[in-house]
Every structure is written in C-alpha cells, then in structure tokens.
Structure 1
Amino acid sequence: EQKGSLVNPNYLRFDFSHFSKVSDEELRQVETSVNAQIEAQLQLVEHRNIPIKEALDKGAMALFGEKYGDSVRMIEFGDSKELCGGIHVKNTADIWHFKIVSEGAVAAGIRRIEAITGDAVKDFYTSQENTLAEIKEVLKNPQDVLKSVTSLQDDNAKLKKQLEQLVKEKIEGLKNTLVADFQEINGIQFLAKQVDLSMSSTKDLAQAIGTSKPNAFVFLASIEDNAPNIHCYISKELVAEKGLNAGNVIRELGKLIDGNGGGQPFFASGKGKNVGGIKEALEKVVDFVK
C-alpha cells in the first residue's frame, strides 16, 4: 500500500506500508518506472461528477481512505485511475523528471520516499555538478575522479593501520616506562599520571598497566580535543578486600574537571570540560589509598 502527498509543486512524498526497507535497486526501479510514464507523455483524462460505483468499477483507486460522496471526480493517466480532488498536470511530460532524494523509516512498518520533480530536479543536478567541480578542484582536476577518490581511500586506510600500530607501540613503551613509577602505599601499588594519548588509548594503557601488577591502583588522565578525561583501574582483589571502587573515584574526581563518568568497581572512566582540574585530580586521588 502506498500513500502520496504533494508537499510543494516540485516535491513529492510517498509512504509505503509493510516495507522493512526499500533497497537502492528498488528505488532505482521506482525512478525508472515513474520516468517512463513521464516520457510516455500521458494526457490527463478527467471525469467529473460520475457515480462512485462506476468509478470504482472502472478500477479507480481511493488511495487516502477519505469518505466520498455519491458523485466523484476520477483522474486517468494511461492505465492509472484515481479518485482525487486535487490539481493535476495536463500531461505527464510537464513533470519533466522524477528524482528520489531520500528514503527512511517514519513509523513501525512504514517507509517514506521523498522525491523532487521539474525545476527542483534541475536545481538538484546543478548543485551536484557544482559539488563535483569543487571535488575535482580539491583533487587537482584528475582525469578520473572516481579512481582518484578510491586511491585516497586506500591511502587513508593504510595510514590508519600505520597509526594504529604506532599507537600500540607508544602504549607499550609508556607501559614499560610507567611500571617503574609505581609507589607502594598501604600494601597498594599506586600510580597516578597524565599521559599524551587519546581517550581510548589512555583507557587501554590504564588497563594494560593495571593488569601488570597485583594490588594495583592506576589513575591516568589525558587531554583530547581540549577536553580532559580520567580513568581508574583497581585490581579485583583490592575491590574485594579493601572495598575500593573505581566508579566512586571517577565520580568524585570528575567534579574537578567539570565532568562525570562511571563504570564498574574495578574500572571506570570520565570526561569533563575543565583541563585545569587534572592537576588537582592527580593530587587528590592518592587520598583513596591512604
């Protein structure tokens, strides 16, 4: 079942029920089918004030479920017959072209297709041409734009792999360096440091360092995109024996960086806005193990 509506003279909206998703191929088929009817230059045939039974017997569709009177208006374009009181073009060629611009879910079991026609399509293609021209200029006007973009994607993927490897090596190097900085406080292996890593890498480092020693309490801070982040790892034996809780540590010290966070008793993370609060957080975290 489909329901269509005219949003403005060059913009159409169709809702399709009982569809989980409309594939790209199905969208292309819809465009091809509609444009075939446009190119066929079908003339409007209008029947005014005919009995509704006669219209329905002729195959007219009542798409919107309105309540109709005894007499109706029936519109024909080729084999398509519909009961409608709205405005129609005199010939499908007047539409010029039909282009789908979006498809998505609007309710359970209902997908919505939105399309443009006429001048809106011309504007759309002009915009696409301008965008393509800008892309070509950025790429230094290659002869094959697609090949150039694909090459950039390949290079980007290689660089990402190289970066990931470098980050792993950096984390491993920091781990080996920081392990020597542990302090023993009340039988707890304590470490609190600020490192130059992304938030996710700082989290990985905190866990890697924490699991390298028994009775470990690790608190690491870093800055990413001018936003501070903190991470706390506490060995499970300390959680069980001393009642320490990483989530409580992060929630309390998170206030110093104008942030919040949480997690499990043995590991928690937080993010804030006040970079200046990192120094005080690193100083105060030792109070949890004294």
Structure 2
Amino acid sequence: MKSFAVNMSSESLSEIFLKNTFRECHKWAHYLSVYDKHLSCYRGKAPVVLEIGVREGGSLGLWRNYFGPEATIIGVDIKQSCEKLSGDGFDIYIGDQSDLAFLEHILNQHSCIDIVIDDGSHVAADMIKTFEFLYSRINSEAIYIVEDIVPSIAGSRDSDSPSFLDYANELLLQLNLGFGEESIAQRADKHVAEAVAASGKDRSSVLVSSPSGLSSVTEFTASTESICFYPNMVVFEKAPQSARSAIKSSGMTPGQFMMYSTYLLKRRG
C-alpha cells in the first residue's frame, strides 16, 4: 500500500513539485521543464521508470504523481536505508550502479524499461559504465537522462579519464554518421585528379586518405533519434533509425520510396 495519495492531473511537473509533501525532493529548477518536455508523452501510459539515486525518496513520489498510479517506479540506491521506500509502493533495489551483475538482476525483474534517470554517484566512470550497459537493453523507444554531469567534468580534470560530457560528445559524433559519404568520395576523387594533373604522375602513385576509412554507423547511431544537451544534464531519445536517405515530394525512385516507407514503419512500431 502507498502511504501517500496519488493525485495525477494535467499539472506541469513544476506545479506538482511545488505541492509535493512526500519526503524531500531536491532538483535544479530548470530540470523540471526539461522533464516535462521529454517525458510528458508518457503520462497516463503506465511507463516503467528507473531512477538511480533516490536519496530520501521524494523524487519517486514526484514520478508517481506525474505518471499516475499504474506506472512502475523503480528506485536504485547504494544506501541500505532506502529499502524502507518499498513500503510506499516502489520497487527498491540496493546496490552499486557500477555493478553490472546488480544491474542485470534489475533487468531480469523489469525487462521493459521506458525511462532511465541517472542521479546516482555522479562519477564519470560509473555514469559511463551504467549507460553502456543499460542503453542497449532498455526499450527501443525510450528516454535516458543523465543528471548532474558537471561534477564528472570537475573530477576528470586531474585524471586521464573522460568526463561524461566528453563521452556524450563522442556519442554525438556517432549520431551524425551516415550522411554525405558520396559527396566525400566525390571530393576525394576530385582531389586525386588535381594531384595527378599537378604531378604528371600515374594516378595510382598519388596517395590520399581513403573515404572507406571513415567510421561506419554504429548500434548507437541506428537506435538513437537525438541527444539534447542542457546545463548540467544530457537527454538521449531512443528510436529506431533507418539508413540515411534524402526524400523529395515527387519523382522518388522505387528504392528511395522503399527506404522512406521502411523508416516510417519502424517509427510507427
């Protein structure tokens, strides 16, 4: 039984937050509008929400009132004292977010996760390890939010380890793979032709960087619709992606039309 009343309404998360009387909840003010922007589509749809780092449990009550009584709210924390929150209707797991066996155990109990919120250790290595394990295992259309990335930036200054922002920037490069290979190849061919003409040598003797050496799309590229950067926060929006294709309003070839149709089917599930 829940020890607090669930008052789901059309109110914004900020409005619900200000009325919160269920335990202490601490968030940077701008986080609330970011959550509304990315998570409002899940309201009333019984999402499965996994929050890593729950402190006093106030945010768990916030999610319950925001998403409704049918939502599954999972809380993870390293502090044993958080176990008491299970009495309030939440699924509570006590353990270290960097322990992959522990995360595997949670996924064995909850195989379909719609939303992940990492508000845990704020240590870059932990955040990256958790992301790399969970991201490919949550639903194909899902939201993964990493809060409080600034501590990881500060912590990485005196070490050789990347901050979570560094890591997210690498993922941003992967998000943009798959565009422009043809034009790059054409530019390379033009460069070769110019080099041959200038040297008077045979084409095979002129060395240029090969377009085939460019990175190909990754699993992350194929499964991610967007990465949104906010102050102290990164939001990943998962959705299946098809091969990169340009379309036009008329005169598409059968191949172009088929690629676009496949893309639409993937997005509609």
TM-score by length of 1: 0.27
Question: Going by fraction, where is strand more abundant, 1 or 2?
Answer: 1
